C-alpha cells in the first residue's frame, strides 16, 4: 500500500498491494482514506495485546493520580495552615486555583498533543506535575505552595484530556467501549 498523495484535494492511494486488515480492505475498496484508518508508521492499532494493556493501565493510573491530586491535600489543611502561617483564605485560594487550572488546561494539552504528539505531552506534563509536587512538599511559604499547586494542576490536567484520546488511538472502534469502561472505572 502506498501513502496518499500530498495533494489535499486528492485523498486516494494505490490499491495494487494487498490489504492486511478488515479496515484496510474497506479503505482499499472505497479508494479513500478516512481519519480513522490513515496509514502511519508504527500503527498503535497493530501493537500486541500486552503493549496495549500496558498503555491502558499506565494511562488509567495517571488519571487516578490526577484526580487524587486535588483531594489528597484536604486532610492536611490544618497542618499546612499552622506550619506555613497561612490564613484559611490562602488555603482556599490554593484549592480554587488548582481546580480552575486543572479544568482549563485540558484544552491546551489536547491541542498541543494533536500537533506535537501525545508522548511529548505526557512527558512534559508528568515533568511539570512532578516538579510541582516536590517543590510544594518542600515549600516554606504559602506563596510557593500556591504557585506549585498551580504547576501541579497544569501538569496533571493533560491526562484528563488526552487519556481517552490515547485509547482511541490504540484500539479499534469495536474494542473501545470496553477499554473506555476500564479507563473510567
pLDDT of residue 161: 86
* Co-location of 76 and 96 in the same domain: yes
* 16 & 59 share domain: no
Claim to verify: residue 34 and residue 53 sit in the same structural domain: no
Give the pLDDT band (50/70/90) at residue 14. Answer: very low
- Same structural domain, 64 and 125: yes
Q: Which residue segment(s) compose the domain that 22 sits in?
A: 1-39
Of 125, 120, 112, the residue nearest 159 (C-alpha): 125
Q: What is the pLDDT of residues 112-155, one digit of tens each?
A: 999 999 999 999 999 999 999 999 999 999 999 999 999 999 99
Average pLDDT of span 21-32: 51
Amino acid at each position: 500500500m502506498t501513502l496518499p498523495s500530498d495533494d489535499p484535494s486528492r485523498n486516494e492511494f494505490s490499491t495494487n498491494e494487498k490489504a492486511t486488515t478488515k479496515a484496510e480492505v474497506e479503505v482499499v475498496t472505497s479508494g479513500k482514506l478516512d481519519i480513522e484508518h490513515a496509514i502511519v508508521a508504527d500503527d498503535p492499532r497493530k501493537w500486541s495485546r500486552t503493549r496495549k494493556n500496558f498503555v491502558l493501565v499506565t494511562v488509567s493510573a495517571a488519571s487516578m493520580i490526577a484526580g487524587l491530586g486535588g483531594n489528597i491535600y484536604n486532610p492536611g489543611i490544618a497542618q499546612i495552615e499552622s506550619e506555613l502561617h497561612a490564613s484559611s483564605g490562602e488555603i482556599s485560594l490554593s484549592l480554587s486555583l488548582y481546580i480552575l487550572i486543572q479544568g482549563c488546561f485540558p484544552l491546551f494539552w489536547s491541542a498541543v498533543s494533536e500537533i506535537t504528539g501525545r508522548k511529548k505531552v505526557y512527558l512534559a506534563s508528568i515533568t511539570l506535575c512532578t516538579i510541582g509536587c516536590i517543590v510544594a512538599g518542600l515549600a516554606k511559604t504559602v506563596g510557593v505552595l500556591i504557585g506549585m499547586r498551580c504547576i501541579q494542576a497544569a501538569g496533571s490536567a493533560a491526562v484528563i484530556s488526552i487519556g481517552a484520546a490515547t485509547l482511541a488511538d490504540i484500539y479499534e472502534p469495536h474494542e473501545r467501549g470496553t477499554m473506555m469502561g476500564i479507563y473510567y472505572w
